[in-house]
Structure formats: C-alpha cells, structure tokens
Amino acid sequence: MAASTKKEGLSVQDLILVAVLIAAGAVLKLTVSSFLSFAGMKPNFMIAMYCLAIILTRPKVFQSVIIGLLVGLVSQLPMLNATPLVNIASEMLGALVCGLLVTAFVKVAADNKAFQNVAAPAIITFLSTVVSGYTFALIVGVAVAHLSPIAVFGVYAVMVFGTATMNAVLAAILAPVLRAVLKR
C-alpha cells in the first residue's frame, strides 16, 4: 500500500496552485513590491511564490526547473523585467536549488514537523533567492563589458541578502498558513 501512495508527479491541483502562486507573485511585484522597498532591497515576490509552490507541491527536481522556466518567461513581461532574458537562467537555477533542497529536507527532517513548516521554507527560500540573485548579478556583470562580475557582485551583495531575508520571512509566514488552507 505504501508504494501506491508514492507521488508520481504534479497533480492538476498542484498545477493550479503553482499557477495561482506565480500569478500572485507577478501581481504583488507590480503592486506592493515598491512600497516594501528599503535601501534598494525589497522582497522578490516572484521568487518567494515559486519557492512556496515548490515547497508545497514537492515536485520532482526537473519539474522544479520547469517551474523556474515558467517564472522566467512570465518575468519577460515588460512591467516585470528591465533585463530581457536574464531572469530565465536565474529563475531556473533558483528553482533547481529549491527543488533539490525540498527533496533533501523532506528526507532528512521528515519527523520534525516544526522544522518542515517554518524553518525549512525560510532556509530553502533564502538559499534559492541567493542563487537566483547572484546568477542574475553574474549574467549582468558579464553582459556589461566594462564591469567585472566581482564589481557587480559587490554591488548586489547587500541587495541580494536583504531580498533573500525578506523572501525567507515571507515564506516562513505563508508556508504554514497555506499548508493549513490546503491541508497538506
């Protein structure tokens, strides 16, 4: 019986949740993101929401990358992105890290519900945001020939960690609430 309950992939309900969270991330980025800005740092709702989607649905790792690709493509809308195509790579890598961490945390801390409900979403979202942010910085640094990637990393260092912290807090607050609503 245990073998038959093993998850084979994303269900229709999971896909709907992913779509709703990506849409919510886009709307929040367009509406309230600027109001929450502090010293150039603000939550990146797109990253926070795809991390929540991956945390809640626990897709296979390659499906996590596809979610990142979808977010990167949605981010190509002119109002969501000032740097065409850069978000595709950065969101795919961030989602890959998110998917790998979700898989690892489920196996390592399966018995610790408090960790799974609050700490894991915060840690996963923080690390995924850092990977996405620094991938973005690296691509922008290489693309802008007169700047070295190290200079761009220096400029982005505080902003990426601030954004990662804000995203982690958001995930830590929303993950238990969404789990309760979804009864997962």
Tens-digit pLDDT profile for residues 146-174 = 666 666 667 777 888 989 999 999 999 99
Residue 6 domain-assigned (yes or no) = no
Residue 121: which domain range?
A: 12-182
Least confident of 3-17, 85-99, 158-172: 3-17
Q: Of 109, 108, 126, which Cα lies nearest the Cα of 48?
A: 126
Q: How does pLDDT run across 104-124, given as a tens digit for each residue?
A: 988 777 677 777 777 899 999
How confident is the prediction for the chain on average, in pLDDT? 84
In three-state secondary structure terms, 50 is helix
Q: Residue 16 — φ and ψ, nearest 5°?
A: -65, -45
Q: What is the pLDDT of residue 48?
A: 96
pLDDT confidence of 137, banded at 50, 70, 90?
confident
Cα angle 157, 87, 131 (rounded to 5 degrees) comes to 40
Residue 47 domain-assigned (yes or no) = yes
**CATH classification at residue 79:** 1.10.1760
The whole-angstrom distance between residue 49's C-alpha and the CA centroid of its chain comes to 6
Higher pLDDT, 65 or 155: 65
Q: What is the pLDDT of residue 77?
A: 80
For range 44-63, the mean pLDDT: 95
Token pair for 103: 């898989």
pLDDT confidence of 5, banded at 50, 70, 90?
very low
Residue 4 domain-assigned (yes or no) = no
Q: Rounded to whole angstroms, how far apart are CA atoms 108 and 145? A: 43
Q: What is the pLDDT of residue 118?
A: 79
Residue 5 domain-assigned (yes or no) = no
Residue 79 domain-assigned (yes or no) = yes
The whole-angstrom distance between residue 131's C-alpha and the CA centroid of its chain comes to 10
For residue 35, is pLDDT > 80? no
Cβ(137)–Cβ(158) under 8 Å? no
Q: What is the pLDDT of residue 79?
A: 65
Domain count, the chain: 1
Token pair for 50: 């795809």
Q: Rounded to whole angstroms, how far apart are CA atoms 73 and 44? A: 16
Task: Please count the other Cβ atoms lying within 10 Å of the Cβ belonging to residue 149.
Answer: 17
The radius of gyration computed from the CA coordinates of the chain, to the nearest angstrom, equals 16
| Percent with pLDDT over 90 in the chain | 49
Higher pLDDT, 180 or 52: 52
Interacting residues of 16 by C-beta distance below 8 A, sequence separation 6+: none
Residue 46 domain-assigned (yes or no) = yes
Residue 162 domain-assigned (yes or no) = yes
